[in-house]
Amino acid sequence: MTSRGRVRVRSGISTCRTVRCRLAKAVFGGIPVERSRPLRDYELVFIVRPSTAEEDFVNLNGRVQGWITNGGGEIVSVNPWGRRRLAYPIRDFREGLYIQINFRGKPSSNTDLERNLTISEDVMRYLLIRSGD
């Protein structure tokens, strides 16, 4: 590296083995190396309004699973917990329909999933956490 933070790349094959050198080759004209992040385990629990019809409840569950698979994720398990009493009222409801979905997915696709859950009118609350390691 030069004193101003620029990297001199020699023409031909380089023998660098450090991370900084490989990164410099990728940034300054070298062949970029594709990095594939492994899928991580996530757990999603969301609460649906109790006034939602059974057919709409099933459709919403399918849409959420579709958002996960469209983002490159794999559904591991779906556990509908059913109707449960809330600890405090949410949107003037004292009960909610709970669903837990365990899935494997890319960290970058979670922003789209969270945005869709926030926009959905039937979803009162959701919690998305990374489980295990």
Give pLDDT, residue 102. 97
Mean pLDDT, residues 46-67: 94
Q: Is the pTM of this model over 0.85?
A: no
Based on the fold, state whether residues 54 and 112 are members of the same structural domain.
yes
3-state secondary structure of 126: strand
Based on the fold, state whether residues 56 and 29 are members of the same structural domain.
no
The percent of residues above 90 in pLDDT, for the chain, comes to 63
Based on the fold, state whether residues 27 and 79 are members of the same structural domain.
no
Based on the fold, state whether residues 54 and 85 are members of the same structural domain.
yes
Give pLDDT, residue 64. 96
Mean pLDDT, residues 38-66: 93
Based on the fold, state whether residues 10 and 65 are members of the same structural domain.
no
The rounded distance, in Å, linking the Cα atoms of 7 and 119 is 46
Based on the fold, state whether residues 29 and 44 are members of the same structural domain.
no
Range of the domain at 20: 1-35
pLDDT tens sequence across 119-132: 999 999 999 999 87
Based on the fold, state whether residues 24 and 55 are members of the same structural domain.
no
Q: Does the pLDDT value for residue 61 go beyond 70?
A: yes
The residue ranges of DSSP E strands in 8-122, in sequence order, are 40-48, 74-90, 93-105
Considering its fold, how many domains does the chain have in total? 2
Based on the fold, state whether residues 67 and 4 are members of the same structural domain.
no
Q: Which residue has the tokens 């969301």?
A: 46
Based on the fold, state whether residues 52 and 29 are members of the same structural domain.
no
Is residue 72 within 8 Å of residue 106, measured between CB atoms?
yes
Based on the fold, state whether residues 73 and 124 are members of the same structural domain.
yes
82, β-bridge pairs: 98
Neighbours of 5 (CB within 10 A): 6
Give pLDDT, residue 39. 87
